[in-house]
């Protein structure tokens, strides 16, 4: 199937739904992927009604893992999903050649798409970013590519001008995953992206607003542990039940408060408490032993 046809099919599959930014099961105290648990997590999410899976991103701690572990994670996730849901593999890296190698490896797995975050820490011009993304696209020309825009963590962002430029230059550009907190810039990115491409919004506290502005769907880290309200909200929005969708957005905002300051540690604690043994975060991140799932379940029960 031509890459343009793949993008069109993927747009239909992801529209009006959530694709969790999947947590990565790890062996405790290590940076080693526990591939034996990946199928259990994939089953948990697909059974809850998610539209796709985003693997090895920020919530997935992908940038903290060595390339061989990222490849092992990608292999396990694609095999576990087995055609039941589109899998988006994150291949972005600090060095272009590392991202290119991950993209080449991903090509052999035949995922629905690859995703590339910008390099981090050092500020880069649009020209430098364009070269980076083009190298990744060239390494996997037959695989749809999403750009990953998260400047609050990466320093480098993908603005409307760069997005317009790359959409014209790169036939494999599927679209953009934007986690910006500024909804006004998200609106500009939606306007800049050709309508045959895909914009996935990552700001959970303004998720419904992003959908109303024209985002095709959501990618959410919290939904890897608590997918229910995101599935319900996107479904309600798609069916035109705006009051119900607003109620689920309010529920999501309350659930975000349960995590406190431990984003990844909190998400993994909830999964552990729901019976999915993903283990703790990488050793450099704080884990949590707080009873977070009972608190979240109480909020869900009231909202439902």
The CATH number of the domain holding residue 52 is 3.20.20.70
How far is the C-alpha of 91 from the C-alpha of 129, rounded, in Å?
Answer: 15
Annotated binding-site residue? 59: yes
pLDDT score of 204: 98
pLDDT for 13:
98
Domain that includes residue 213, residue range: 3-226
Core vs surface per residue 42-62: b (16+ CB within 10 A) or e = bebbbeebbbbbbbbbbbbbb
Instruction: Report how far apart, in Å, the C-alpha atoms of 180 and of each of 203, 204, 288 are.
Output: 6, 10, 26
254 domain residue, yes or no: no
Give Cβ neighbours of residue 16 (< 8 Å, ≥ 6 apart).
51, 211, 216, 217, 234, 235, 237, 238
Q: Determine, yes or no, domain membership for 255.
A: no
Q: What is the pLDDT of residue 303?
A: 60
Is there a domain that residue 202 lies in?
A: yes
> How many other C-beta atoms are found inside a 10 Å radius of the C-beta of residue 169?
12
> What pLDDT, on a 0 to 100 scale, did the predictor assign at position 302?
66
**Rounded CA gap, 74 and 175, in Å?**
20
- 148 lies in some domain: yes
3-state secondary structure of 217: strand
**One-character DSSP codes across 117-146:** EPP-SS---HHHHHHHHHHHHHHSTTS-EE
Q: What is the mean pLDDT for each group of 10 consecutive residues in the chain (304 residues)?
A: 96 98 98 98 98 98 98 98 96 98 98 98 98 98 98 96 97 98 96 97 97 98 98 98 98 96 96 98 95 97 67
DSSP letter assigned to residue 25: -
Burial of 161 (0-12, 13-18, 19+ CB in 10 A): exposed
Q: What pLDDT is stored for residue 19 in this prediction?
A: 98
DSSP reduced 3-state for 93: coil
Domain-located, residue 29: yes
**pLDDT at res. 109:** 98
Of all helices (H) and strands (E), which one includes residue 54?
strand 53-55
Please provide residue 7's backbone torsions phi and psi, each rounded to the nearest 5 degrees: -65, -45
Q: Which pLDDT score is estimated for 260?
A: 86
For 168, counting Cβ atoms within 10 Å of its Cβ (0-12 exposed, 13-18 middle, 19+ buried), the class is exposed
Instruction: Please confirm, yes or no, whether 11 is among the known catalytic residues.
Output: no
SS3 80: helix
Q: How many domains would you assign to the chain?
A: 1
Catalytic member of 11, 51, 177, 268: 177
Q: Which of 11, 132, 148, 268 is catalytic?
A: 148
Taking the C-alpha atoms of residue 294 and residue 240, their distance in angstroms, rounded to an integer, is 31
Q: Is 285 helix (H, G, I), strand (E, B) or coil?
A: coil
Asked if residue 272 belongs to a domain, the reply is no
Judge whether 148 counts as a catalytic residue.
Answer: yes
* Cβ within 8 Å of residue 24, ≥6 positions away: 33, 55, 56, 60, 61, 62, 65, 73, 278
Between CA 92 and CA 146 the distance in angstroms is 10
CA angle, corner 60, sides to 233 and 14, nearest 5?
Answer: 40
Q: Is 284 annotated as a binding residue?
A: no
Per the listing, tokens 């993927």 go with 10
């Amino acid at each position: 199937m031509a890459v343009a046809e793949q993008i069109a099919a993927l747009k239909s599959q992801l529209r009006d739904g959530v694709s969790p930014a999947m947590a990565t099961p790890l062996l405790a105290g290590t940076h080693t992927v526990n591939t034996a648990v990946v199928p259990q997590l994939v089953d948990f999410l697909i059974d809850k009604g998610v539209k796709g899976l985003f693997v090895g991103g920020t919530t997935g701690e992908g940038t903290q893992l060595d390339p061989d572990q990222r490849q092992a994670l990608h292999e396990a996730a694609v095999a576990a999903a087995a055609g039941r849901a589109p899998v988006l593999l994150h291949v972005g890296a600090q060095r272009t050649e590392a991202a290119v190698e991950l993209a080449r490896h991903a090509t052999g797995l035949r995922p629905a798409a690859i995703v590339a975050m910008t390099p981090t820490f050092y500020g880069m011009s649009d020209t430098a970013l364009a070269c980076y993304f083009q190298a990744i696209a060239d390494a996997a020309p037959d695989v749809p590519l999403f750009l990953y825009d998260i400047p609050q963590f990466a320093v480098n962002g993908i603005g409307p001008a760069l997005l317009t430029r790359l959409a014209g230059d790169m036939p494999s550009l599927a679209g953009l995953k934007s986690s910006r907190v500024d909804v006004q810039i998200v609106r500009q990115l939606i306007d800049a992206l050709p309508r045959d491409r895909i914009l996935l919004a990552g700001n959970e506290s303004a998720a419904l607003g992003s959908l109303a502005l024209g985002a095709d769907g959501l990618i959410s880290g919290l939904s890897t542990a608590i997918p229910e309200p995101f599935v319900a909200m996107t479904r309600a929005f798609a069916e035109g039940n705006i009051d119900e969708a607003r109620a689920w957005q309010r529920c999501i905002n309350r659930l975000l408060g349960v995590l406190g300051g431990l984003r990844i540690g909190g998400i993994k604690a909830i999964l552990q408490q729901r019976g999915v043994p993903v283990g703790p975060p990488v050793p450099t991140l704080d884990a949590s032993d707080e009873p977070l799932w009972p608190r979240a379940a109480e909020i869900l029960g009231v909202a439902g």
